[in-house]
A and B are shown apart, each in its own frame.
Chain A
C-alpha cells in the first residue's frame, strides 16, 4: 500500500478500529473539524460523524473523567490530550482514578481506554510543550505505556492498545510526525509487550524509544563502519516491557546502552539498566550506560535544544568511548 506519514498513520489506525468496533468513540480538543493540532485525526469526523468524534472544551479533567466513566460502563474510548505536558493538568484522573480503579475494586471495573498524546522535543516549543513524559506514566501501576517510532507501529500498536482491556497511555512523538514509510495492506495489529530488534549486531545492545530510534539506527550505521556491531532494539512498549528480548540481546553482546529523551533522573533507561544488572549481570562485559538529556527542562533556542537531546553524534561517541575503554563512558 501507499506510504503514510506518522501523522497520517495515527488517523489511519484509529479509523481502522472505529470501523471494526462501532461503539468506539474519540474525544479531545480541536480533533473534529480541525483534524487535531498535529493533524492526526484528519478525516475522522467526516467518516464517523460528530457523535463518535467529539470536540471538547479545554478541560482535560473533564475529558479524561468522561473517558473513564464511559470506558468503565461499556463504551471504549480514545481520548486525546493535545501535548503530553498537559497530562499534568489531569494527572489525578490518570494516576489516581483510571490506573487504580480496577485494583481498588478487585476487578469489578475495566478500562478499555486509550489516552493519546503528543510527546517529546526537537521542535523548539520550549519547556512546557516539549517534555518526554512516558516515564511519568510508566511509574503508575495499572497503566500500560506505548510509544511507537514508525508509521506501521503507530497503526499496529494503536490497534493493540484499543483492543486491550486496560488503560493505555499512547505517546505519539511530535518530531516524528512527518516521517514516512510504506505500510502493509490489510488489517495491522501489533502486540503490546513486544520489543522489535531493528538491527542485529554482536558487540553492543542499544535500546531506544520513539524519536531516539532513528537516531540510534544512524549511530549504529556509523559504529559499524568502525567495526562495532550493534543490536538496536526499539522498546515500543514500556509497560508491558519485553525484558526477554533485551536480556537475550545482552546475553549475546555483553554491553548495554539505552537512549532516551527524558531528563537524567528516573527515566525508563534507569529501569532497564537495573533489570539488566539484576537479571543479566553475569553476561555483562562492562558498565551499562544511559544516554539521556541532562537533568534540565528543555530550552527553546534551536542550538540549545539540539545540544540537550541525545544526538546521533552523542550516541555514537558514547558507545565508541565505552567500548574502546572497556569501561564507562
Chain B
C-alpha cells in the first residue's frame, strides 16, 4: 500500500505539472491528499471485482491496475491513451481491470454500480461492485435511489463516500441537512453507520475488507463514509482559496503519506526499503510521462469510430 500511495500521489502531481505545461487540456480533478481511500480499497478487491468512480477517478483507476502510461496519455489526448483520447481525464475506464468507468454526471454511477452487483448475483459469481463518490453527491436523488434499491435487493454493492468537506467550492455543511452526509443517512436505508479515517490506509483497508466480505458472502450493501481532504482545489482551474488557511494547514499535518511512512518505520520496516520503493515509483511515473508524450495525436479517422457496436458511426444507408 505504501507503493500505491506513492504511485497515486506521483501521478496526480505529474498530471498537475503537465497541465501547467499546457499538455493536459480541458479539466482534471486530482485527489491529492485523498489517496489512502483508493489505496485501501484497491488492496481489498479481487481482480474481477468492479469499480465505478466519479470524474475524480485517476486514483481509483490506478489502484485497480490501470497502466499509468496509458492513463497519462489519455490525459494528454493521445492515440496511445487508454481511451484513444476520446474519454479524457473525467472518463478513465479499463474494463479489463474491472474499472468500469469514471462518470462526470453526479450520482449516476451509484445506480449503475448496483447493476453490476446485480449482474454478479444473476451470473452466480461472487464479484462485488464498489462505487466511489464525494460528500456533495449524497444530496442528489440518485444516491438515495441507489441505496434503497441496493438494500431491498440485497446487492453486493459497497458505496464509499469520500467526504473531503467540500462539494465544489461550497462547504458541505452549508448544503446538507445532517452532519455526516453519508453515515448520518445510513439508517434511513437500513444500513449500519460506518465512518472511518480516510487518511489512514490501514483503517480504510480494514473497513473495505469487512464491507467487501459482507457483500461477497451475501450480506448485502454497505455505505462507508471516509473523512478526508483534498489538498488542492476542486479542479484544475481552482486554487481552493475559499478554504481557511488554518484548515488547510491542519490537514497538511494529516497527509496520509508521511503518516504512513512513520507508521511503517515504527513497525520496523527499514527506511532504505521505503526509499527504494519511492525511487522505483518516481521512475515509473517518468516512464509513464515519456510514454504519454511520445504518443501521436489521435488519427482523424478515429473521430468516427465506436459510436455503435459495429465499430463505426453510421446511422443511415
A: which residues have CB within 8 A of B? 29-30, 32-34, 37, 55-61, 85-86, 88-89, 123-129, 264-265, 294-297, 299-304, 307-308
Give Cα A34–Cα B233 distance, bound, in whole angstroms.
Answer: 13
User: A residues within 8 A CB of B313?
Assistant: 294-296
Q: Which residue of A lies closest to B26 (CB)?
A: A124
Interface assignment of B78: CB less than 8 Å from any CB of chain A: yes
B105 and A85 contacting across the interface, CB-CB below 8 Å: yes
Closest partner residue, chain B, to A303 (CB atom): B297
In the complex, the 6 A-B pairs of residues with the closest C-beta atoms, listed nearest first: A300-B88, A124-B26, A301-B77, A301-B85, A57-B139, A34-B169
Q: Can you pick out 6 interface pairs between chain A and chain B where the beta carbons lie within 8 Å of each other?
A: A55-B175, A57-B175, A125-B26, A299-B86, A300-B90, A303-B77
Interface string of B136-157 (1 = CB under 8 A from A): 1101111000000000000000
Could you tell me the dominant secondary structure of chain A's interface residues? loop
Check A30–B78 contact: CB distance below 8 A.
Answer: no
A-contacting residues of B (Cβ < 8 Å)? Answer: 25-27, 77-78, 81, 83-91, 103-107, 136-137, 139-142, 167-170, 174-176, 242, 297-298, 300, 302-304, 307, 313, 315
Interface of chain B, main secondary structure: loop
Inside 8 A of A56's CB, which chain B residues have their CB? Answer: 175
Given contacts A34-B242, A58-B137, A125-B27, contact A307 B300 (CB under 8 A): yes
**Which of A34, A265, A295, A307 has a CB less than 8 Å from the CB of B170?**
A34
Chain A residues near B176: list those with CB within 8 A.
57
Residue in B77, B78, B85, B167 whose CB lies within 8 Å of A29: B167
Taking A57-B140, A299-B86, A303-B77 as known contacts, 7 extra A-B pairs with beta carbons closer than 8 A to each other, sorted by chain A number, are: A33-B170, A124-B26, A128-B105, A300-B26, A300-B88, A302-B26, A304-B298
Given the known inter-chain contacts A124-B77, A304-B303, please indicate yes or no for A58 contacting B91, CB distance below 8 A.
no
What is the bound-complex CA distance between A89 and B104, given in angstroms?
12
Question: Shortest Cβ distance from B169 into chain A, in angstroms?
Answer: 4
Q: Which residue of A lies closest to B234 (CB)?
A: A37
Given that A89-B140, A300-B77, A304-B302 are known contacts, is A124 also in contact with B88, CB under 8 Å in the complex? yes
- Give the distance in Å from the alpha carbon of A65 to the alpha carbon of B140 in the complex: 13
Which residues of chain A are within 8 angstroms of B174 by Cβ–Cβ distance? 55
